Amino acid sequence: MAGAQSDVELFGHVIDGEEITAGDGPGFDSVDPYTGRPWARFPLGSGAEADLAVDAARRAFDSGPWPRMSRSERRAILHRLADLVLENRRDLALADTRDMGKPVSQSLNKDVPRTAENLRFFADHAALTPAELYPSDTGHHAYTRYEPAGVVVAIAPWNFPLMLASWKIAPALAWGNTVVLKPAEDSPASVTILARLALEAGMPPGVLNVVHGYGPDSVGSALTGHARVDRVTFTGESATGTAVARAAATHLTPVSLELGGKGANVVFADADIDQAVEWSARAAFTNAGQVCLAGSRLYVHRSIAEEFTRRLCGAADLLVPGDPKDPATLLGPLSSGEHHRKVSGYLDSVAEWGGTVATGAAGPGLFVRPTVVTGLPKEAPHRNEEVFGPLVTVTPFDTEDEVVAEVNDSPYGLNAMLFTEDLSRAHRVAASLRVGTVWVNCFFVRDLRAPFGGVGRSGLGREGGTYSREFFTEPKAVVVRVGEDPGADGAA
Ligand code: NAD
């Protein structure tokens, strides 16, 4: 069982209701990017642990109570879990903050409440959403049953470790599936706590399992290519998504992929500039820019570009590095040394591409100061690749058509933001963008009923509301003869 060893906390796999720490076996540490010291130790799983977890989830699905409970019983347990998440909010928030450097102001006040909200929303949605009925007066009635799909493998990234995992497991569980969750190796603690809380909430053993380890040639690939798994839901980089889809295709396992992005943010000349500056800074620098939805490509109408850039730099400079465990801190370090090297590389090459750093810099330590870059040519990697750090490029534009073409000229298509006071323009431009979500005069506002996902390299499929239901269930048609001649309505 979990416990303390010196000042490093021990966490384990949670399989079939038991927590298994590394003991004398292989393990890995989570390093706090602010202190540079390991703070938690995890067992390093392999194909063997993936098998154990899938077997546990399989048993819990095939013969356990979870899929056979009434929806209201499952709903009650998921609501109890949401209550426990809020009661344990400090531990959960600090786990993410220590694992990957996210300011506790974000993890405590945003990610943990949103995790509870995900659990409640999908619990209610599954319990309350009616199914379709196709009545006929003469021949038959047909209706849809939403059967749980089976064993769901959920693979999560490190940038919103708890919240994004809950976005996947909440609908999967609410619809009666059992789950094997693999968190990112950089941020494995909070979901381990979540799995402990699920047992405390009354979820039967084997329903929510967590296994720790790496992706390729490790737990990740063992799970995604597993023969006894019914769904794979993945959030992470686009290149990894391709590997996951390939592995899942071996057994024709359906996949849902939420992948990388290069969010475009368009500010028209008629925008409310105060609001646009505030939202644009938030879109570019929240979570140190380590957000798939980050507004990292900013297009500003030429007539206001200079003033806008100056004010954006002012907003960027207000975000100063601090201890992420301090509630006043708004800018934490990047998640790891490796990621810091990647992001710093983009800063180092700005001049080489002919651009100017209007504000920002790498350091100290694993921090990157919020960075605004101007003057880069269209082909510069900063304008095309997912930097996943607090770096935003500013590009002036002249016409609506020109900027729409620019935004759409990207392999990614996760999201875009528009700032304009012209209602017709807002609808027109929103309709013409090739992305999964368009925010008008706001950013990051989520309606959990709405579809969420991306086009192109940003993903495959949608999750949220009924879209999650479609993925995590096997819809079944039941056709009941009611008339003398069922063929009256058209037999096959
Ligand atoms: P990543 O792809 O490196 O890793 C994600 C997860 O996949 C980790 O748990 C990792 O261990 C696992 N993994 C890696 N290789 C694997 C393999 N071959 N088989 C199975 N699993 C494997 O991504 P990351 O660095 O953790 O996260 C950042 C990325 O996630 C960014 O590209 C970001 O845009 C994206 N992201 C997308 C969304 C979205 O909703 N679209 C949300 C958050 C993050």
Look up residue 217 and give its amino acid: D
Cα-based torsion angle of the residue sequence 405, 410, 414, 415 in order, rounded to the nearest 10 degrees: -30
Which residues are within 8 A (CB) of 328 and not within 5 positions of it... i.e. 6 or more apart? Answer: 105, 322
Per-residue pLDDT tens over the stretch 170-181: 999 999 999 999
Q: Is 352 a known active-site residue?
A: no
Q: How far is CA 487 from CA 132, 134, 137, 389, in A?
A: 21, 15, 12, 61
Confidence of residue 153 (pLDDT cuts 50, 70, 90): very high
Per-residue pLDDT tens over the stretch 351-400: 999 999 999 999 899 999 999 999 999 999 999 999 999 999 999 999 99
Look up residue 442 and give its amino acid: C
Q: How many CB atoms lie within 10 A of CB 130?
A: 7
- Spatial separation of the C-alpha atoms in residues 251 and 254, rounded to whole Å: 9
In terms of pTM, does the model score above 0.75?
yes
Q: Is 292 a known active-site residue?
A: yes
Identify whether the C-beta of residue 38 lies closer than 8 Å to the C-beta of residue 189.
no
Give the helix/strand (H/E) hosting 149: none
Give the helix/strand (H/E) hosting 74: helix 71-87
Catalytic residue among 9, 258, 386, 463, which?
258
User: In this structure, which residue's CA is closest to atom 40 in ligand 1?
Assistant: 258
- Look at residues 453, 489, 485 and name the one whose alpha carbon lies nearest to residue 468: 453
Cross-strand bridge partners of residue 209: 180
Per-residue pLDDT tens over the stretch 23-73: 889 999 999 999 999 999 999 999 999 999 999 999 999 999 999 999 999
Instruction: Please name each of the domains of the chain with its CATH number.
Output: 4-259+458-476 (3.40.605.10), 264-440 (3.40.309.10)
pLDDT at 490 over 80: no
Which residues are within 8 A (CB) of 466 and not within 5 positions of it... i.e. 6 or more apart? Answer: 125, 129, 449
* Residue 50, ligand 1, Cβ within 6 A: no
* Residue 53, ligand 1, Cβ within 6 A: no
Q: Pairing state of beta strands 415-419 and 437-440?
A: parallel
pLDDT value for 492:
57
pLDDT value for 343:
98
Identify whether the C-beta of residue 473 lies closer than 8 Å to the C-beta of residue 148.
yes
Confidence of residue 488 (pLDDT cuts 50, 70, 90): low
